[in-house]
Chains A and B, each alone.
Chain A
C-alpha cells in the first residue's frame, strides 16, 4: 500500500526539538525522500546538529538537486524550498508569514507535483503551513498535524488527523512500511 513518493514536513521554530525527535524515528530503509522546512534565522547552520541523531543523512540541498529516497532535505536559510517532480527548486521570493523558508511554499508545491502520492506533516503552533497542508489534503495527499494547540482549520475536506509526538512514529510506520530484510537473527 505504500505508494507514497515523498514525505514533507513543516515546522515553526518553536518545534525544532520535536523535529529532532521526529528525525530519530525515521527508519534507515525509508523508501522516500524527506523534505523538511523549518523556520530559521539567516545564518543558522542546522543540518549538522539535526543530522546527529538521525539515521538518514540530513543535507541542505543546492538548487535543482535530485530528491533521493532515504535522505532528508532541509530548506536552506534565506530560500523557499519547493519540490518539483523528483528535484528541488529553491526560490528567493519575498518571505511569507514573515518567513523564508516558509512552510506553505513547500506544501503547496508538493500538492502540485505529487498530489495523492505525498504525505505531509505539520507541526502546529504557527499560521504558516495551514493553507498549504489543506491544499495538499484536498489534492489527495495523506496529511496530519503534530501538536495539541491545533485549532482545526481542517477546511472543507474534513477532518485532519491529529498526532502527538508519541503517535507520530506509528503514523510514519503505516505510511511507509518497509519490510525488514530477511535473514535477520
Chain B
C-alpha cells in the first residue's frame, strides 16, 4: 500500500472515532451526514484550530462543550448575506404570496436558519407584501450558538451587492428601511426581529413541532446522506399542511424521497413545491 493510501486509511479511522465519540458523549450524531462534505468541513476546522490530527480534535471535543459548539458551527453552512438567492425570493413573491393573501393566518417555518440572514430577508418580504401581521415565522437550527447570533438581529452591514440582490428579489422599498446602522453592523428593525420565534431544533433527531403552511428549507439537507435526507423529508411532509408550500434549494429535488408523489412543483419556480395530498 502506498504512503498516500495508508494515511487516507488512518484518517478515515480517526474520523470514525471522532464521530462516534461526539455521538456518545453529546448525542449529536454526525455519522449520517454526507461524507464528502463532512470530510471537507472537518479538515477546514482542523486547519482553523491549528490541530494536526482528528485524534487531537477528538480529545478536545470530548472534554469541552465549547469545542463541540465550535465544531457544530463549522459544520453548519448558511448564507451570510441578505437575499442570498434573489431568484428564490422573486419566485416566492410571484407564486406563493398571492395564495397566502387568501388565508386568514399563515404559519411559516424556516428550517436550518443559521445566523438568520435568509430568515430576515423572508420577514422583510412578508412585511412588504402586507402579510407580516398575519404570519407567525418560526426559525430553527440545530446549533444554539448560531441561533444566539440570529436572535440579536445584528448583521454585517449590507453593501451594494446586498442592495442589488434586494432589488432583484423584487424589493419594493429600500433595504436601508429595514435596519439601523451601527458602525459596521446593521440592527434589523425590532418589529421584524421580535416577530420571529427562533428555536433550537435538530432536523436529524427531533420530531415535528407544529403544522405549517410554508416550510422553507433551502440547501440545508445537502449536508445529510441519502438515508437521513429521506427521513427528514418524511418529517417535513408531516409538518406541512395540505396545500402548503415546501421551498427547497435550486438543485435539491424531491424525486427520490418517500413522499415525492404528494407534491407538485410549481412550474418555473426554481423548486417550490405544493403539497396536494
- Assembly CA distance A82 to B33 (angstroms): 14
* B238 contacts A by Cβ under 8 Å: no
* A120 contacts B by Cβ under 8 Å: no
- In the complex, the answer to whether B35 meets A64 with C-beta atoms within 8 Å is no
Interface residues of B, Cβ cutoff 8 Å to A: 2-5, 8, 34-37, 39-41, 77, 79, 219, 221-222, 225-226, 229, 249-253, 255-256
- In the complex, the answer to whether A62 meets B4 with C-beta atoms within 8 Å is no
Of the residues B4, B40, B226, contact of A138 by C-beta under 8 Å: B4
- In the complex, the answer to whether A82 meets B36 with C-beta atoms within 8 Å is yes
- Contact A113/B35 with A91-B222, A138-B4, A140-B4 known, Cβ cut-off 8 Å: yes
* A126 contacts B by Cβ under 8 Å: no
Of the residues A89, A92, A137, contact of B36 by C-beta under 8 Å: A89
User: What class of interface size applies to chain A in its complex with B?
Assistant: 20 to 34
The total of Cβ contacts below 8 Å across the A-B interface reads 78
For the complex formed, measure the closest distance between the CB of A129 and the CB atoms of chain B, giving whole angstroms: 15
A135 surroundings in chain B (CB, below 8 A): 4
- Assembly CA distance A83 to B34 (angstroms): 10
- In the complex, the answer to whether A63 meets B4 with C-beta atoms within 8 Å is no
- In the complex, the answer to whether A109 meets B39 with C-beta atoms within 8 Å is yes
Name the CB-closest residue of B to A116: B5
Q: Which 4 A-B pairs have the closest CB atoms?
A: A138-B4, A82-B36, A109-B36, A62-B253
Instruction: Give the residue among A76, A91, A108, A138 with the most B Cβ atoms within 10 A.
Output: A91
B229 surroundings in chain A (CB, below 8 A): 64
Of the residues A60, A82, A109, A115, contact of B5 by C-beta under 8 Å: A115
- In the complex, the answer to whether B251 meets A63 with C-beta atoms within 8 Å is yes
B77 surroundings in chain A (CB, below 8 A): 91-93
Name the CB-closest residue of A to B8: A139
